[in-house]
C-alpha cells in the first residue's frame, strides 16, 4: 500500500524511474520538465481534493482557479524574496544565540 511517506516515494523513483504507475489511475511523477503539465491550474482536479475540505475550502483543496488565485494572492507576499530574506536574517540571529 502506498502511504504518504516520502521515503517510500523516493525508493519507487530510484527503482523504477521518474514516472511510476502505482494503480490504474495513480502515478508518482518526479520530472521537473513535466512540472508545467502536472502542476498546471488548467488541469481539472480530482474529487479527492474535497477530502481536504474538512473546515471548508483551502489553498490546497480549492478546485477552482478563481478560488485558488484569491487565496494564493493573500499569502504570496510572505514568500517573496524580500520576506524570505528577512526570515533568513532572523533565523541566523537565533541560531547564533543558540550556539
**Whether pLDDT at 54 is above 80:** no
Nearest CA to 23 among 48, 42, 44, 55? 48
Question: Do residues 84 and 60 both lie within one domain?
Answer: yes
Question: Do residues 16 and 64 both lie within one domain?
Answer: no
Tell whether pTM > 0.85: no
Backbone angles phi, psi at 23, to 5 degrees: -135, -175
Cell numbers describing residue 4 = 504518504
Question: Do residues 36 and 77 both lie within one domain?
Answer: no
Question: Do residues 93 and 66 both lie within one domain?
Answer: yes
Question: Do residues 10 and 53 both lie within one domain?
Answer: no
**Whether pLDDT at 21 is above 60:** yes
Whole-angstrom distance, CA of residue 46 vs CA of residue 35: 17
Question: Do residues 32 and 3 both lie within one domain?
Answer: yes
Domain holding 88, by residue range, is 47-99
- Check residue 24 and give its pLDDT: 80
Higher pLDDT residue, 83 or 5? 83
Q: Tell me the mean pLDDT in the region 15-42.
A: 78
Higher pLDDT residue, 51 or 84? 84
Domain count, the chain: 2
Whole-angstrom distance, CA of residue 32 vs CA of residue 77: 25
The number of angstroms, rounded, from the C-alpha of 57 to the middle of its chain's C-alpha atoms is: 16
Question: Do residues 52 and 92 both lie within one domain?
Answer: yes
pLDDT category, 39, cuts 50, 70, 90?
A: low
Question: Do residues 97 and 52 both lie within one domain?
Answer: yes
Question: Do residues 52 and 99 both lie within one domain?
Answer: yes
Question: Do residues 20 and 67 both lie within one domain?
Answer: no
pLDDT tens digit sequence for 67-91 = 777 878 888 888 888 888 888 888 8
Mean pLDDT of the chain: 77
Amino acid at each position: 500500500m502506498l502511504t504518504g511517506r516520502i521515503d517510500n516515494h523516493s525508493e519507487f523513483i530510484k527503482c523504477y524511474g521518474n514516472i511510476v504507475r502505482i494503480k490504474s489511475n495513480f502515478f508518482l511523477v518526479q520530472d521537473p520538465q513535466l512540472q508545467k503539465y502536472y502542476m498546471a491550474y488548467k488541469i481539472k482536479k480530482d474529487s479527492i481534493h474535497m477530502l481536504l475540505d474538512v473546515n471548508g475550502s483551502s489553498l490546497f483543496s480549492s478546485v477552482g482557479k478563481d478560488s485558488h488565485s484569491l487565496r494564493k494572492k493573500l499569502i504570496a507576499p510572505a514568500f517573496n524574496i524580500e520576506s524570505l530574506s528577512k526570515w533568513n536574517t532572523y533565523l541566523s540571529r537565533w541560531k547564533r544565540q543558540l550556539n
